[in-house]
Structure 1
């Protein structure tokens, strides 16, 4: 299970009742009673109900980023009462919009930039790791080399847009390669997939993990 909704401890039964339709509409949603004493690092996405005295300093994003570094996505719902929460979740259910992404106004979804493994083929072994040049290590390698069977599918490690496709070697000397731009919280990251045999995407294509 990769998604949990965290509810206030006070008046918990009323808060829980407000989520019933939501947890029935969307699969695999864990319901957590208060962040206190719970390891939220088990979840990819946390829907944090922000009601007074639930999160440290009433700042759920800061609380989660500091205490639970493995959480990738934080979805914040501002709700002072269970009735407020039920109304917000009803809109998400009607729109088939689990995290309220269709109307992220005001902004309430915050993500870390993370990379997935770029192939499902096994075995796939890392043969050379990223390294920067230091006195102790003069070698610089601006990437990670992964060895797998010829013809194995290479997948995007982060969702984004294809911004460059090179089918023959160029000045970077990467052979055939693809670059994908991913924007997270206003910062754009570019990932490069090099040494490819056959490229099946085109420039400006949207790709998803």
Structure 2
């Protein structure tokens, strides 16, 4: 809770109720929203690392009832193959406009046709004020790398809506790779949004990055 109160605030994603844009994309901590039945979205971002291993990712997703099906595709400098991560997210309780939202999700990452990692987690989202301008997202699950035992996956993020366009987001993720922090700003224009995010891995001062993201729902 001290972390929630100390990091920068952030913002609701469903302003004016466009098709859902999850706080995933270039962010690490997921919310409990899904894209919605019969709707689709694409989240894409470029990442520039202080270590020089830049990369690009895109995640198309579509909704079937309360279930969101997605496929993350990414390529990172220094890796000769394309990463592919099919994912499924099932919304157990819709909290997009009121109350607490709950969802469960799982994904598997493949490289050169071989499974290299997998994740399974539950996510919950809720507002801390009546207007739901200040939202909290919590993730809890398991993160596993091929050939090793599972590692706890824990994430906390906050979102604060400055107005109907600008939002601030900040988060921390505990995973098998260590502790990662990110914070940024989102501009929402209709059914599209743009992210500018800065992050770091706490294990080393050399691991810093910037993300430039673009998300669109249709």
Q: TM-score, normalised by structure 1?
A: 0.25
Which structure features the higher share of strand residues?
2
Q: Which has the higher contact order (CA 8 A, sep 6+)?
A: 2
Which structure features the higher share of helix residues?
1
Q: Please identify the structure whose Cα radius of gyration is greater.
A: 1
Q: TM-score, normalised by structure 2?
A: 0.25
